[in-house]
Structure formats: structure tokens, C-alpha cells
């Protein structure tokens, strides 16, 4: 398998899961501005959406969208228990968290990285993020991971998104349970290896 990624973006989430699952894979960085891979290929000929992550399977099939890719990867190695079994209520709770992170966090961060976003709208995004950070802090004060006592694909995604906070003047220290959670995830060997591989440490 090959993961097309860009350091510091949401592609970190499936990168973490690949390492947590112990799967064989290669990485290829993508310049999103130029839509070029590090090998010089036009990325749009590989992934027409032009976005990361994209996962090229050994059979030539392509998967895109991070929340889909992490579920696929976790299902390849069920013994690692990175996602609950299909059809179980816990599985739907995992999907619930993935969707929450995508819509309530990821979507609010995106405008903060654009200089073209009006200041008033940036303020609204920060207010929405602060509200959700309070909610997450309350949840994580009671349990070590989003699904309870076991790390899952949802934690890989939340960790990835929380890592953007420092770049947009949001301080996790204002939400102690959330800051502790972030450090707890960062200390995992697979997470540390992914961060190092992407030059993020």
C-alpha cells in the first residue's frame, strides 16, 4: 500500500493508523499547491480530487477521504482492535466520533488557515472550536480515549486535528483534560514514529 500525504495535514491520521496496525506501506509526499508528488507525477492523475490523504492499494484500487481510509485500515487487522467490529453499537459510536471531528472540528479549522477568510468569520470559527473543545475536555476528563479505555481510529483523527490548534492561536492548555489527552496520544510509539517520519518533531 502507498499513502499519499502532506506533512501536517489530515493525512497524518491514516499514517498513524498504518503504523498502529503494523501494516506494510510506503509514503509519498504531495505538494498540494502544485498538485505534484515527490516523484514528479501529476497528483490529479492519481487522485482526481487533488486532496490528501489517498491510499493506493496493492491491487491498484484507490481510496480517498480520511474517515474512510482509517476504517478500511483498521478492518484489515481486527486483532489490533483499532475500530470496533462492524455491526456493533460501538462501531457506530466510532463513526459518530469520526463524523463529529470532521464536521465540528476539521471544518472549523480550515478557514483559519486561509488569509482570505474575513476576520469576523475567523472569530466565529474560533468560538465554535472553543465550544467543542469544552465538550471534548468534559468527555476526556472521564476516560482516556474517545471510545473509553482503548485507542481507536477516532483518537488518531482527533490528535491530528488538535495538532493544528497552536498554528491558529488556540491553546490546549486552556482545556487541561484535552491537553493531557493530546500528550497521552503523542507518547504512543506509532504516533511518535509518524510524527518523526513527517518531520513534525
Q: Are residues 181 and 106 in the same domain?
A: yes
Q: Specify the residue for cell string 507525477.
A: 41
Residues 173/136, Cβ–Cβ less than 8 Å: no
Give the structural domain span for 74.
2-80+191-198
Residues 94 and 6 in one domain: no
Same domain for 134 and 70: no
* Pairing of the two strands 26-31 and 36-37: antiparallel
Total number of domains constituting the chain: 2
- Spatial neighbors of 152 by CB under 8 A, at least 6 apart, are 74, 81, 82, 83, 84, 94, 97, 145, 146
User: β-strand 62-64 against 54-56: which pairing, if any?
Assistant: antiparallel
Same domain flag for 108 and 171: yes
Verify that 58 and 148 share a domain, yes or no: no
Tens place of pLDDT for every residue, the chain, 201 residues? 999 999 999 999 999 999 999 999 999 999 999 999 999 999 999 999 999 999 999 999 999 999 999 999 999 999 999 999 999 999 999 999 999 999 999 999 999 999 899 999 999 999 999 999 999 999 999 999 999 999 999 999 999 999 999 999 899 999 999 999 999 999 999 999 999 999 998
For residue 26, give the CATH number of its domain: 3.40.30.10
Which pTM value belongs to this model? 0.96
Residues 11 and 39 in one domain: yes
- What backbone torsions phi and psi does residue 194 show, to the nearest 5 degrees? -65, -45
Half-sphere exposure of 134 (CA within 13 A, CB side): 5
- Which pLDDT belongs to residue 62? 98
98 and 76 in a single domain? The answer is no
CB 77 within 8 A of CB 23: yes
Q: Can you say how many angstroms the Cα of residue 129 is from the centroid of all Cα atoms in its chain? A: 16
Residue in the structure block whose three cell numbers are 472549523 = 108
Question: In a 3-state reduction of DSSP, which class is residue 145?
Answer: strand
Which residues, at least 6 apart from 35, have a Cβ–Cβ distance to it below 8 Å?
42, 43, 44, 50
75 shares its domain with 100 = no
Residues 71 and 102 in one domain: no
CATH of the domain at 184: 1.20.1050.10
Could you tell me if 23 and 63 lie in one domain? yes
Query: What whole-number distance in Å separates Cα of residue 112 and Cα of residue 9?
Result: 14
Comparing C-alpha atoms, which of 12, 21, 47, 25 is closest to residue 159?
Answer: 12
Considering the domain architecture, whether residues 64 and 145 belong to the same structural domain is answered as no
Q: What is the pLDDT of residue 201?
A: 81
Q: How far is CA 106 from CA 55, 85, 97, 166, 179, in A?
A: 20, 26, 12, 14, 18
My answer on whether 74 and 96 are in the same domain is no
Quote the cell numbers at residue 148: 473509553
Amino acid at each position: 500500500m502507498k499513502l499519499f500525504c502532506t506533512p501536517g495535514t489530515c493525512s497524518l491520521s491514516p499514517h498513524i493508523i498504518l503504523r498502529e496496525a503494523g501494516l506494510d506501506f510506503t509514503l509519498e509526499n504531495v505538494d498540494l499547491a502544485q498538485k505534484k508528488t515527490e516523484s514528479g507525477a501529476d497528483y490529479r492523475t492519481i487522485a482526481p480530487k487533488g486532496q490528501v490523504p489517498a491510499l493506493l492499494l496493492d491491487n491498484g484500487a484507490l481510496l480517498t477521504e480520511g474517515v474512510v481510509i482509517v476504517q478500511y485500515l483498521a478492518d484489515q487487522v481486527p486483532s489490533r482492535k483499532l475500530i470496533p467490529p462492524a455491526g456493533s453499537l460501538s462501531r457506530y459510536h466510532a463513526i459518530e466520533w469520526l463524523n463529529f471531528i470532521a464536521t465540528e472540528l476539521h471544518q472549523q479549522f480550515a478557514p483559519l488557515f486561509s488569509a482570505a477568510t474575513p476576520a469576523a468569520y475567523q472569530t466565529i470559527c474560533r468560538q465554535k472550536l472553543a465550544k467543542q473543545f469544552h465538550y471534548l475536555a468534559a468527555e476526556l476528563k472521564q476516560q482516556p480515549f474517545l471510545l473509553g479505555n482503548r485507542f481507536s481510529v477516532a483518537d488518531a483523527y482527533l490528535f491530528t486535528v488538535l495538532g493544528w490548534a497552536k498554528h491558529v492561536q488556540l491553546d490546549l492548555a486552556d482545556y487541561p483534560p484535552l491537553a493531557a489527552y493530546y500528550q497521552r496520544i503523542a507518547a504512543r510509539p506509532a504516533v511518535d514514529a509518524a510524527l518523526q517520519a513527517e518531520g513534525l518533531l
